[in-house]
Amino acid sequence: EAQVTQNPRYLITVTGKKLTVTCSQNMNHEYMSWYRQDPGLGLRQIYYSMNVEVTDKGDVPEGYKVSRKEKRNFPLILESPSPNQTSLYFCASSLTGGELFFGEGSRLTVL
Amino acid sequence: SQQGEEDPQALSIQEGENATMNCSYKTSINNLQWYRQNSGRGLVHLILIRSNEREKHSGRLRVTLDTSKKSSSLLITASRAADTASYFCARGETSGSRLTFGEGTQLTVNP
């Protein structure tokens, strides 16, 4: 089954404790992206990647890192999480210029 | 503000009625896409319309695009309670695959 898988789905952590949200897709898509969704703000893009070893900042990259060492994986790293990074995070992938396929989301709470 | 903006922010209708949602954007696009999100879940792609297209249909969905006015509309005909969800437009940039989302329209269809 074609899908985008994110883990963990739910996480509560404390300020400053590094964490990684993994994202994997099995559709051989070149393009992958991370979004965060906050009430009243819609989806805002954090980082995106056009292909392996190519990553670019989105609209809200501060406090996040990503890597794209393999085509299927695109982890989101929070080196030192802060409470303002409490959000619902979505990973998505697509063929270049096509429809995005979304994961089910990762709800992160930073205390 | 977001590059894709939906109007209205919220819409409540009765089953069987039509629902129209509008999306405006500010810069040139390669395509415009519409997505649906059930509460807290991942977004699901509904329809993509390219910049050289004016109208597209998919089942009960009709999308129009007016590039001169930089706007698009999504019409859901004969709505059902199961159509209750948030609907987002996403602007596909002319270069690359980057998609920028609006803040969404919350549609409620009352049985």
- Taking the CA of residue A52 and the nearest CA in chain B, the distance in Å comes to 14
Residue B32 burial (CB < 10 Å; 0-12/13-18/19+)? buried
Q: Do B3 and B85 meet the contact criterion of CB atoms below 8 Å apart?
A: no
Question: Residue A52 pLDDT more than 60?
Answer: yes
| CATH of span B5-110 | 2.60.40.10
The average pLDDT across A38-62 equals: 93
Any idea which residue has 């890192």 for tokens? A65
Question: Residue B32 pLDDT more than 50?
Answer: yes
Q: Does A25 touch chain B (CB under 8 A)?
A: no
Q: What is the pLDDT of residues A55-108, one digit of tens each?
A: 999 999 999 999 999 999 999 999 999 999 999 999 999 987 788 999 999 999
Question: Residue B2 pLDDT more than 90?
Answer: no
Least confident of A55-59, B23-27, B32-36, B97-101: B97-101
- pLDDT, position A55: 95
Residue B24 amino acid letter: S
- pLDDT, position B1: 42
Question: Residue B14 pLDDT more than 70?
Answer: yes
**If pLDDT is split at 50, 70 and 90, which confidence band does B47 have?**
very high
Interface of B with A (CB under 8 A): 2, 30-31, 33, 35, 40-45, 48, 88, 90, 92, 96-104
Domain ranges of chain B: 5-110
DSSP string covering B40-109, please?
Answer: TSPPEEEEEEETT--EEEETTEEEEEETTTTEEEEEE-S--GGG-EEEEEEEEESSSS-EEE---EEEEE
Q: Return the exposure string of B44-62: e unless at least 16 CB atoms fall within 10 Å of the residue's CB, then b.
A: ebbbbbeeeeeeeeeeebb
